[in-house]
Amino acid sequence: MLRALVERIRSLEKEVIALREEMEENRRSSNNIIRLGVVAATSEQTVDVTAGQNKATRVPFFVHSAGRVSHYRRPSVGEQCILINLGCGDNLNNSVALMGLPSTNFPCQTTEENQVMTDYGNGMTECYDLDTGALTAHYPGGVKVVGDIEQEGNYRASGDVADGTRSMAADRKIYNDHIHMHGNPNTSKTGQQQ
């Protein structure tokens, strides 16, 4: 009887050890389901991410929308992300990287609740005020529009305005300097300057 009891205790001990190992494996796997990481390298459609001591290589990154309307932005090295491990386990290469977390390296450009802002880098920004409806855009490299433009409302320029022939400043100079070839010699130049 004692021998049977000892055998039963040994059997239960093995089961407890197996359950403990299974629990540890589940704990380790659950720790790897969602991880905070930092982008180490980028390519067109994948990133390498360091998460603690682990490295996930060539994992796809979240694109804002990839249907009929698409927005693409390649992540930046040093950018924080959330790794979602679709395969569970210790292998983070089955993950997807969700980008866009603010960090010390890449802080929010505005924290005003009424502003939507995009900072493209190199001084190029767009800031839309939800309350006033005003858009303030800085394009240091200029803007090229391919297509027709129709505007309702006033237009004011701090610089010169030109068409396919010449600028308004050049037209103004022609008008102001032109000489009347007929009529009173005292009014050979225009009386009203532009």
Q: What's the CA gap between 187 and 182, in Å, rounded?
A: 9
Contact predicate 41/48, CB 8 Å: yes
* pLDDT number for residue 36: 93
Residue 8, pLDDT above cutoff 90: no
pLDDT of residue 182: 62
pLDDT of residue 124: 94
Are the beta carbons of 110 and 91 closer than 8 angstroms? no
Topology of domain 32-101 in CATH is OB fold (Dihydrolipoamide Acetyltransferase, E2P) (2.40.50)
Per the CB < 8 A criterion, the answer to whether 74 and 90 are in contact is no
What pTM did the predictor assign? 0.66
What's the pLDDT band for 82 if we cut at 50, 70, 90? Answer: very high
For the chain, which residues make up each domain, given as ranges? 32-101
